[in-house]
């Protein structure tokens, strides 16, 4: 009995082969998605990727029509070309992790609302570092910088259904307002994180009349 291996093997342009190629391409795209998101922060690399995706998509539209008359690859190429055109531009903003590394912040906590001067209150994030505490708005722009070593008081002041975090340093003070159901918890969390960064000296035990200091014993014959 003669078997023809070529008959059992699917042709190069068969639907089964094209389906496997499409599934493999989709799986590769899922694996590369996190890298593509990081690549978007580099304008040059992101632009080069869009150009390459558009050229490859256009090639898939034109080449299969002339060789195998395969509509599936043409549709895939058209989708890639449209994706290259419709992809958003590169992101210019930094993430919280990138900004924390830039500022050498150890912890990032919710800072509630901060009102700089006569401006309107704005939501901020507190970037807590060993040397400075930064209050940044949603655009990661600094609104306030507090030297960590100069902080002398961190207080949480309840105000009805809200809470205020008050930080005092030198002759200055700043307050951050928290609103909502978890206002007190968020203020306490920020205060605890700030206190954890402060270096407090060890307490010195005070002498009391009930426990006078014991004199040192003298050596015999002294």
Question: Residue 85 in contact with residue 28, Cβ under 8 Å?
Answer: no
**Does any domain span residue 147?**
yes
Question: Residue 178 in contact with residue 112, Cβ under 8 Å?
Answer: yes
Give the CATH number of the domain where residue 145 resides: 2.30.29.30
Question: Residue 124 in contact with residue 112, Cβ under 8 Å?
Answer: yes
Same domain, 125 and 186: yes
**Does any domain span residue 3?**
no
Question: Residue 175 in contact with residue 163, Cβ under 8 Å?
Answer: no
List, in order, residues 6 or more apart from 130 with CB less than 8 Å away: 104, 106, 148, 197
Same domain, 151 and 80: no
Same domain, 72 and 153: no
For the chain, the domain total comes to: 2
Report pLDDT for 190.
95
Question: Residue 167 in contact with residue 174, Cβ under 8 Å?
Answer: yes
**Does any domain span residue 91?**
no
Same domain, 115 and 133: yes
pLDDT in tens, the chain (222 residues): 555 544 455 555 566 676 677 666 666 666 666 666 666 666 677 677 777 777 777 776 666 555 555 666 666 767 766 766 666 665 555 678 888 999 999 999 999 999 988 889 999 999 999 999 999 998 889 999 999 999 999 999 988 889 999 999 998 999 999 998 889 999 999 999 999 988 644 344 344 444 444 444 444 444
Same domain, 138 and 161: yes
**Does any domain span residue 220?**
no
Same domain, 183 and 107: yes
What is the residue range of 119's domain?
Answer: 96-197
**Does any domain span residue 208?**
no
């Amino acid at each position: 009995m003669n078997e023809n291996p070529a008959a059992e093997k699917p042709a190069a342009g068969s639907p089964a082969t094209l389906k496997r190629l499409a599934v493999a391409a989709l799986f590769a795209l899922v694996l590369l998605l996190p890298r593509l998101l990081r690549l978007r922060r580099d304008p040059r690399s992101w632009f080069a990727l869009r150009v390459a995706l558009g050229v490859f998509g256009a090639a898939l539209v034109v080449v299969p029509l002339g060789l195998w008359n395969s509509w599936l690859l043409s549709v895939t190429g058209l989708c890639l070309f449209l994706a290259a055109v419709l992809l958003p531009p590169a992101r210019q903003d930094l993430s919280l992790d990138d900004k924390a590394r830039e500022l050498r912040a150890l912890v990032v906590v919710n800072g509630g609302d901060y009102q700089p001067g006569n401006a309107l209150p704005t939501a901020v994030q507190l970037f807590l570092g060993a040397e400075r505490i930064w209050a940044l708005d949603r655009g990661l722009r600094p609104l306030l910088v507090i030297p960590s070593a100069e902080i002398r008081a961190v207080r949480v002041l309840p105000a009805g259904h809200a809470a205020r975090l008050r930080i005092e340093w030198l002759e200055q003070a700043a307050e951050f307002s928290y609103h909502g159901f978890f206002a007190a918890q968020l203020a306490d969390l920020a205060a605890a994180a700030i206190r954890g960064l402060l270096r407090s000296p060890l307490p010195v035990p005070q002498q009391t009349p009930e426990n006078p200091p014991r004199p040192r014993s003298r050596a015999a014959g002294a």
